[in-house]
Copies of this chain bind each other. A is one copy, B any other.
């Protein structure tokens, strides 16, 4: 039994899809969520800045004495995970990249995997490196999709604009015949329907936040689980800017209203 909360952070709202999965799979667990809405997006920032931001985020969630940390941000986990793991050896940290790759290499049959993500994620090569650690013979087709995040954030989940942008970004990957596509950014699962229709029924779409929670399920031994009674303040949300906007828009990712306080904090101090 371990009644400490799970710490989850993301550059913005997208990591709430991981919280949604935790709520479903582990209804007793407590969560401390941090969304770095004051410094979003990470995907276009330099590697040094991304590392610095990730360190701040880790320090912030650690201030709640969490039992484990999930980095729900694709950019942070693809660029900063090895370093922050090294710096925080005393606590388990899981990034969306590990979990997603683990699922993708198991899903592919023809050994052709597509990887899409932000500019930073794709440039980092983090997914490829990890895929090759599992299997050097896998053929990888990747592309950055910088318009997907703004499309999601403006509610363009499945509009003519969305479909045109999907075609522009994914045509080559589809034509290469991948049977598995890693949605390497927490925002992308919200375009799942439109992406799925474009890629076809035979292509498995790997959703990072769903995978990270499945991965957790394997890791969370009974000694790490929360007791039967959920805490009073089970879900706590913190942001670095615009708590009101987070409370309003977060429900898109959480697929239900945010119940609980959303507090603004000064992340530069961590």
Contact = CB atoms under 8 A, between A and B. Distances in A.
Interface stretch (A150-158, A186-194, A195-203): A150-158
Interface string A232-268: 0000000001100100000000000000000000001
A160 B164 contact: yes
Contact of A147 (B38, B49, B150, B160): B150
| Interface range on chain A (Cβ under 8 Å from partner) | 20 to 34
A242 B45 contact: yes
A223 interface: no
Contacts of A164: 160-161, 164
Contact of A146 (B38, B39, B40, B154): B154
Given A151-B147, A154-B146, A46 B242 contact: yes
Interface string A191-235: 000000000000000000000000000000000000000000000
Contacts of A241: 45-46, 49
Contact of A150 (B38, B46, B150, B245): B150
Contacts of A84: none
A23 interface: no
A241 B49 CA distance: 7
A128 to B, nearest CB: 22
A90 interface: no
A165 interface: yes
Contacts of A268: 268
Contact of A45 (B38, B49, B165): B38
A150 B119 CA distance: 13
Given A45-B241, A49-B38, A161 B165 contact: yes
A38 to B, nearest CB: 6
B161 A150 contact: no
Contacts of A161: 147, 161, 164-165, 168
A129 to B, nearest CB: 22
Nearest to A48: B241
Nearest to A154: B146
Interface in A9-60: 38-40, 44-46, 49
Interface of A: 38-40, 44-46, 49, 146-147, 149-151, 153-154, 156, 160-161, 164-165, 168, 241-242, 245, 268
Given A46-B245, A160-B164, 18 more contacts: A38-B49, A39-B39, A45-B241, A45-B242, A46-B241, A46-B242, A49-B241, A146-B150, A146-B154, A147-B151, A147-B154, A147-B156, A149-B150, A150-B150, A161-B161, A161-B164, A164-B164, A268-B268
Enumerate the 7 nearest inter-chain pairs by beta-carbon distance, A residue then B residue, closest first.
Answer: A150-B150, A46-B242, A146-B154, A49-B241, A161-B164, A46-B241, A45-B241
